[in-house]
Structure 1
Amino acid sequence: MNNNKLFTIGFTKKNAETFFEKLIKSGIEKLIDIRLNNVSQLAGFTKKDDLIYFLKKMCNCDYVHKPLLAPTKEILDAYKEKEITWLEYENRFNDLLVSRKAHTFLSSSDLHMVCLLCSEPTPDKCHRRLVAEFYKNYFKNIEVIHL
């Protein structure tokens, strides 16, 4: 059985050209925005309305916002303020995904040629990696590719 390809990307420390070229080259069909806030002034070209336009025009792909795949403000703030370690953040966030029944939000085939978007420049300490791993562990036939 072929694996469904699930991509992830963060926009921080990327200009628009680099960001969109990575998406175009990957051939994604849909971008799932898993940020809590998709209209931040810091987001630049990834503000919701601009992103929807650019994705359609440049990548011929769809956009959907799934904030239930984002951490709560409390978990995020606790990590940012160094009240909890990254390991504690991972554990709390993974527990949150289980309690929210995130496995019911998307099927394995819904994740094929999809890219999860968050802001962090790399996936190592970003919840997009945790979401991708959650689905890979649940469905087993997911190949995760970090852009």
Structure 2
Amino acid sequence: MKRDDKAVQVATIGFTGKSAQEFFDLLKNAHVRTVLDIRLSNTSQLAGFAKKQDLPFFLDKICGAGYVEMPELAPEPDLFKRYKANEMKWDEFAAAYVDVIAKRRVESNLDIDLFRSACLLCSEHLPHHCHRQIALEYLNSQWNSRLKITHLT
């Protein structure tokens, strides 16, 4: 069987700093088929319209998209807590997070086809200091740069 080496279009989005309309319009306009939820905590009341309990319904009804919870790309709770408490700098967090997902062997345990027309969801408004960007950069380094990444902001 011939391996498909075509580029895989994948996006990222954070829900904070966006209204529900902005959030769902971005996903719909990007033709996202599946939202991959890589948040450590996706049940908080602070998540509003993006709570795990409600998001699959909204995605289906508004965007015709599916929802997959992907905890294997979430950071370890202690690591995230230390970063949020300013006990470590961004570069230290990023390196430690890469170690975590490398030990989980995410590149071997996740199918690249799951990322096709998908969008990684996290909380941070912008990707620059968010683990969603690090996760995709790591996977891209392991998957021969096949991921073509767009950040929906």
Do they fold alike, i.e. is TM over 0.5?
yes
CA distance in 2, matches of 1:45, 1:132: 25
- After TM superposition, give the deviation of residue 104 of structure 1 in Å: 2.5
Structure 1: how far apart are the matches of 2:84 and 2:139?
25
Q: TM-score, normalised by structure 2?
A: 0.93
For the residue of structure 1 that corresponds to 2:149, the secondary structure is strand
Q: 1:23-76: per-residue Cα shift (whole Å, max 9, x none)?
A: 000101100000111110100000112101000001111101111211111111
Aligned to 2:11: 7
1:141 aligned to 141, 146, 152, which one? 146
In structure 2, what is the equivalent of residue 107 of structure 1?
111
Establish whether residue 32 from structure 1 lines up as the match of residue 32 from structure 2: no
Q: Give the secondary-structure state (helix, strand or coil) at the position aligned to 2:55.
A: helix
Two-structure CA RMSD over aligned residues (Å): 1.0
Aligned to 1:61, which of 39, 61, 65? Answer: 65
* Aligned-pair identity (%): 38
- Unaligned runs of at least 5 residues, structure 1: none
User: Residue 90 in 1 paired to residue 94 in 2?
Assistant: yes
Verify the 8 A CA contact 1:8 1:146 in the aligned structure 2. Answer: yes
Paired residue type of 1:47: K
Partner in structure 2 of residue 116 of structure 1: 120
